[in-house]
Structure 1
Amino acid sequence: MSLSKITTTVGLNIGKIDIGSVRLMFWDLGGQEELQSLWDKYYAESHGVIYVVDSTDEERLEDSWKAFDEMIESEALEGVPVIVLANKQDVQGCLNVDQIKSLFNQSAAKIGRRDCKMQGVSALTGDGVNESIDWIVQCVERNSPWRPPRLKDDSS
């Protein structure tokens, strides 16, 4: 598959995977500006946030950061771990993690004391994806006394 055939999420995609005793439910929410107003409907049940940035789209990077900055202010996400994935690191000429981090670090005060990490990944090759999922699972498990995750036996 060529990169030109990979499109952005339009609307909402839902998926789940089981890792140990944890079931991760993924809500892939489209990043289009008109859909961002719906994001907060999902925050109350979130135990972690995986925020994906297109490392090849320098023109929209500031828009992505602004959406992130607004999201991170939500009281419903207070204390919830966040990982920002700098996707498409396999593409020559993409922005590297440090370049993206320098912009997103402007949200540091809003991130507060929660677990937060930025990781370079390639969804196409899988590089960095497993490590990122492992990190978010560890954070969710560590946060369980304050925001209990649902074990896979609790729901389907």
Structure 2
Amino acid sequence: MLGLQNAGKTCLLNVLSGGDFTYDTISTIGFNMKKVQKNNVSIKCWDIGGQPRFRPMWERYCRGASAILFVVDMTDIEKLHAAREELHDIMGQESVEGIPLLVLGNKSDMQAKVSVDELIDALDLKSIEHREVSCYGISAKEETNLEAVLSWLVKRANEPPKPGASRR
């Protein structure tokens, strides 16, 4: 799980793993790992810090992953360009080629936000090749679309790894 700082990655992971949403979540320093259970599937989710000093480490955590989740704050329009740059940088890494990408526009419960279509355009998702790319608007706070996210993850966790790739 990647994204710029304050996108809501840690809150989302807390909610997905069965915890409660909290407003006063402290930004992840380094990384955080939790297991998410859905039916009989257990998924190990890594929440990687989004501050600039941690972004060079993103690629190492993504190698061999079943999926990459990129979380974006739909209300922080000023950071969309930086989010696009970071997303395209990681997607351009040969070591993550072919790994499915799920972009999550978080904070969809807020009034002042971009739409999912605007997010797709702002992040230039249609230009990302060599992998499946999906995008959902979610709200970790209201738990909007989180069942769809879990279903998406479970489907990818059950798929066999690509030849030559090891899975975490």
Give TM-score, length-normalised by structure 1.
0.82
What's the CA shift for 1:136? 2.6
Q: How many residues align?
A: 148
Q: How high is the sequence identity, in percent, across the aligned residues?
A: 26
Q: 1:130 aligns with which of 147, 152, 161?
A: 147
Give TM-score, length-normalised by structure 2.
0.77
Describe the SS at the equivalent of 1:25. strand
Relative to structure 2, which stretch is displaced further, 35-44 or 3-12?
A: 3-12
Query: Is the CA contact 1:87–1:122 (under 8 Å) kept in the aligned structure 2?
Result: yes
CA-based RMSD of the aligned residues comes to: 2.4
Name 1:84's counterpart in structure 2.
Answer: 103
Q: Kindly tell me: are residues 74 and 116 of structure 1, through their superposed partners in 2, closer, same or farther at Cα, counting changes over 3 Å?
A: same
What's the CA shift for 1:72? 0.5
What's the CA shift for 1:2? 9.6
By percentage of residues, which structure has more helix?
1
> Gaps spanning 5+ residues in structure 2: where?
1-19
> Gaps spanning 5+ residues in structure 1: where?
151-156
Describe the SS at the equivalent of 1:47. coil
Paired with 1:103 and 1:140, the residues of 2 have a C-alpha distance of: 28
- Encode CA deviations 1:26-80: one digit per residue, 9 max, x unaligned: 1111111111011122122311001100011111111011110101011111111
Query: Is the CA contact 2:64–2:167 (under 8 Å) kept in the aligned structure 1?
Result: no
Larger Rg: 1 or 2?
1
Paired with 1:116 and 1:33, the residues of 2 have a C-alpha distance of: 24
Paired with 1:79 and 1:70, the residues of 2 have a C-alpha distance of: 15
